[in-house]
Amino acid sequence: MRSVVVQGHRQVSVEQVPDPVLPGPDGAIVAVETAAICGSDLHFYDGDLPFYPVAVGHEVVGRIVEVGTQVSRFHVGERVLVASVAGCGACAGCQTRNPIACHSGAKVFGSGELGGGQSDLLAVPAADFQLLRVPEGIDDEAALLLTDNLGTGWAGAQRADIPPGGTVVVLGLGAVGLCAVRSALVLGAGRVLAVDPVAGRRARAASFGAEPLAPPEGVSIGEAVLAATGGLGADAVIDAVAVDRSLDDAFAAVRATGTISVIGVHDMAPYPMPALMGVFRSITLRMTTAPVHRTWSDLVPLIRHGRLSTTGLFTDVYDLDQAPAAYERIAARTADCVKVRFRVG
């Protein structure tokens, strides 16, 4: 089968590799129909996580072509989406439906631990836990967003303790940041200030209901947020970038007693946290990847009943064989390219 492999810094290729086999009697094989590129795939591509070669991709929608003897909830032929983060499915941690709590340790597809989803076939362990039948009224793009990005934005907004009518800053307006913008509004934010260096991305956030915030030359993001909030600062800051600079901005923009909710993926280096300022200002700092499985019961009804839109995020579609061009396009982080998906099956 074909598999997209990041070979090194800014080097990606489509390789022919052996078909995967069932990962145990509780597993399934999914024939991928469409798979998306995630910002975290770019951490390999850009060299932030230099573990090569790595078969990438963890956002997958497809059809089941094989199930193990212990799989009870799914059958061959069903259309499913695959949670990007995997747990064993059997332990007390997984029973909370948050794979991060798995006692065996959560694993992410396409990061070296499990197969990459930008491929023709994907082996899925603990299929009863890991899969969701694509619900009625959920299109391919919404289904792809339910594997990771929307759950991440949703979890980031939930964990931001947004008071009704409160002011939220979202740092970084890639797909996850834009999902956080929409989630914050659904969860009761009165005002979302959307920050990104790319004007077109701010404009996209504005079309989703946010207020774009672009500090003029010489004015910091923290100063601009203070100016926009009468000197108070934001009730919550959602950091969908998670580099040292954005974390500094988050501490500068949040009000005393406010919450910083980090959903970006930091690089391997430690961050020098302003702990003294944090304690004196009584700041709550939360960091998370998405509790993907747990978000489905919230998000599916919100999407199906039109309360949470998933449109306007996918901007580009490529055939799997065009992966090098697709990666080059998304890595340029231009205004008009937010989220890329592959046609596979």
Instruction: Please say whether the beta carbons of 233 and 255 come within 8 A.
Output: yes
Give the residue ranges of DSSP H helices in 137-254: 140-146, 149-158, 175-186, 199-207, 221-228, 244-253
Please identify, using beta-carbon distances, which residue of 251 and 314 lies nearer to Zn ion. 314
- Does 83 participate in binding Zn ion (rule CB under 5 A)? no
- Does 38 participate in binding Zn ion (rule CB under 5 A)? yes
Cβ at position 253, least distance to Zn ion in Å: 26
Cβ at position 245, least distance to Zn ion in Å: 22
SS3 108: strand
- Does 88 participate in binding Zn ion (rule CB under 5 A)? yes
- Residues 304 to 343 in contact with Zn ion, rule: CB under 5 A: none
Please identify, using beta-carbon distances, which residue of 102 and 142 lies nearer to Zn ion. 102
Which H or E run includes 3? strand 2-8
**Tokens representing residue 65 in the block:** 């072509």
Cβ neighbours of residue 210 under 8 Å, at least 6 residues apart?
170, 181, 185, 192, 193, 194
The residue of the chain with the least Cβ separation from Zn ion equals 38
- Does 179 participate in binding Zn ion (rule CB under 5 A)? no
- Does 116 participate in binding Zn ion (rule CB under 5 A)? no
Listing DSSP states for 213-246 in one string gives: --PPTT--HHHHHHHHTTTS-EEEEEESS-SHHH
- Does 87 participate in binding Zn ion (rule CB under 5 A)? yes
The only residue of 22, 55, 82, 102 in contact with Zn ion, by rule CB under 5 A:
102
- Does 26 participate in binding Zn ion (rule CB under 5 A)? no
Cβ-based neighbour number of residue 79 at 10 Å: 17
Amino acid, res. 286 = R
Cβ at position 197, least distance to Zn ion in Å: 22
Give the count of residues interacting with Zn ion (CB under 5 A).
8
- Does 91 participate in binding Zn ion (rule CB under 5 A)? yes
Please identify, using beta-carbon distances, which residue of 87 and 174 lies nearer to Zn ion. 87
Q: Return d(Cα 128, Cα 82) in angstroms, integer.
A: 11
Q: Return d(Cα 324, Cα 139) in angstroms, integer.
A: 26
- Does 148 participate in binding Zn ion (rule CB under 5 A)? yes
Applying CB under 5 A, the span of 100-108, 185-193, 214-222, 298-306 interacting with Zn ion comes to 100-108
- Does 253 participate in binding Zn ion (rule CB under 5 A)? no
Which residues contact Zn ion by CB under 5 A?
A: 38, 87-88, 91, 93-94, 102, 148
